[in-house]
Structure 1
Amino acid sequence: MKEGPDIARIGTLIGDPARANMLTALMGGQALTATELAQAAGVTLQTASSHLSKLEDGGLVSQRKQGRHRYFALTDAATGTLLEAIMGFAASRGHLRHRPGPKDPALRKARVCYDHLAGDYGVRMLDSLMRRGTIVSTGDDLRVTEEGRSNLLAIGIDLDRLSSSRRPLCKSCLDWSERRSHLAGTLGKALLSRFLDQGWGKRSVDSRAIHFTSRGESQFLALFPLE
């Protein structure tokens, strides 16, 4: 195609294995140094710096300086949504990288997808919210109902404050492990922050997994029933 969006460039940027590993490492929503990303990609620091420069030029990552260090992060939530969708598409076509170990079931159960909850628990949360009428589908997107606003306020989620953001309030995001949608947008971010602030779970130090406490898991399952 001679005119229109250049998907070939984006595909090339994401398609390199080292850059793909770097982007996956940043899917946890945390800013990482070039050294940390070099380790995630399995390349030298010099090579990592070259890759990061290309990703920054392509609008996929951004950097900020703090003291003597430079930190890199995904540019925005749209980048995270794009990567999760590609992961879901790859999984649905059988293109999987197998890394057996204890992290695999933990990641599938609950993990961070840029800034919101993904995995089995993320999909369960959206299913429950839709079954109770808190959120309804509007075709290509999601909307909070009037009853839903009251339900969310009761658990400490102020939609008026969230609605002031330029980001969508509710957005579906294809989950790569469940191959169904979980909740993204500012509401998805606020709910995940709420769970972590209340001590229901904590993020893994070396992966995107979220480990719920026994008490936190009980409260999560009670708050988002499927029956």
Structure 2
Amino acid sequence: MTRTPEPTVYLVDDDAGVRDALSFLLSTVGLPVQAFADGVALQDSLTPQDVGCLLLDIRMPHVSGLQLQEQLVARGVDLPVIILTGHGNVDLCRRAFQQGAVDFLEKPVDETALLEAVQRALHQHQQRRAQAEALGPARARLARLTEREREVLGGLMAGQTSKQSARVLGIGARTVETHRASLFEKLEVQSLADLMRTYLPVTDPEPRGAP
């Protein structure tokens, strides 16, 4: 059985005093913290299995918090991001949220607001990971389908009848029915309702940033 990593707050701020103060604050409510002086050290430390959230200072030398956020998104890192700044403005806030940030807090940070934001972000990430783990078997079964069966499945998900799918795909309605029977067997479902309930979250995933 794979051990689930402990949810951790990854803090990046070039100010040692801020790192120490925020690390202490988070530790008082039992949250594990890993603090870094720059984004390079953070990226060297992160793995795809990590669970938690990111606290990123927006103004740092070499790589800003927004640049670091963009780089992490490009790497496929799905940790929720909370941006910290002592110089907030509408443009920076907009850019942060466009890149998937879940919150944007100005320094000096209100302790209660920070702790609430962190707890929300941790809960969100744990929910995402639990959902992804639950959908793993469904994705594995989908991988069994042939290309034609995937096309027929797409028609089913779109609400097409066998005759409608046949016209779209340029095949006979009986052939569509045969493919439907085959994909039901491979996907281990007994009804259309069962199919939708199990596979709609896999074939039509939520957009980035959704809770």
Q: With the length of structure 1 as denominator, give the TM-score of the two structures.
A: 0.23
- Whichever of the two has the greater Rg, that structure is 2
Structure with bigger helix share is 2
